Amino acid sequence: MPGESALICASRWHWPVVPGAGFLPNGNCRCGRLDCSPPGAHPHDPGLLAATTDTRMVGWWWDRRPQAPVLLATGGAVCAISLPAASAMRAVTELDRRGRRTGPVLAADGRIAMLVAPYERPELGELLCALMTRGAAPGRRRRGSARGIPGEPGEPGERERPDEAAAEPPEPAGAAGGPPAGLRFHGPGGYLPLPPAPGHGTGPVHWLRPPRPRPVWLPRAADLLDVLVAADRTTPGTGTGTGTGTRLG
């Protein structure tokens, strides 16, 4: 049940959660927006800033709305990096081959998210910049900079602002030195749906590698990024997915 899952996240793993908008009896999203994406699986009332690990508040929320989706607020206790499913599975296989340990891995709506420890944006941006430059053709100037990991946008209508990373059109997926076409960073101001959730067209949200230890061990993003970028370059496809994340490109 969603309420049980929410309490486990808050009490056992110390991950801040908030109920998703959910659906009205007629099947429409409770937010009332006909164009919301993804319907039901985004914060609405309360907003994302209310996400908490307080078990009393979490219990009260789900007592009132037992079927509300569970949303993990990323940034403070846990972050994530997601890829289209095909790219991500290639990356997971390669990480296993290299003996690099992954943390929890989540599948949702055609994308797969790897949960990671909270990261410092400047450090991660510099690493991504180096990875991009390493593959650039001689004499080619890479677009973007190390500051190209802005904070993720908040929920619809709450913290709307231009997507800095989308200011320039993306280069073709797989182009040497080009920005990752399908990579997303889920950090401060972002969120991800957690099981149990129905998903939207590609099966339910589910764990591929569930959180097991207590506390949950999370890898550093920097330890996975080179493999994720390589997998993204060699497997075209961007995907849309559920949850908020910065698109680099």
Average pLDDT, the chain: 79
Q: Which of 55, 48, 46, 51 is nearest to 10 (CA)?
A: 55
Local confidence band at 95 (pLDDT 50, 70, 90 cut-offs) = very high
Greater confidence (28 vs 140) lies with 28
Per-residue pLDDT at 174 exceeds 60: no
Amino acid identity of residue 219, one-letter, is P
Instruction: Check the CA dihedral 208-209-212-216 and report its sign.
Output: negative
pTM of the model: 0.77
Q: Please give the full DSSP string across 184-240, using - where no structure is assigned.
A: EEE-TTEEEEESSB--SSS--BEEEE---SSSPP---GGGTHHHHHHHHHHS-----
Residues 6+ apart with CB under 8 A from 47: 18, 154, 155, 158
Greater confidence (135 vs 97) lies with 97
- Write down the pLDDT at residue 73: 97
Per-residue pLDDT at 44 exceeds 80: yes
Q: Are 228 and 183 in contact (CB under 8 A)?
A: yes
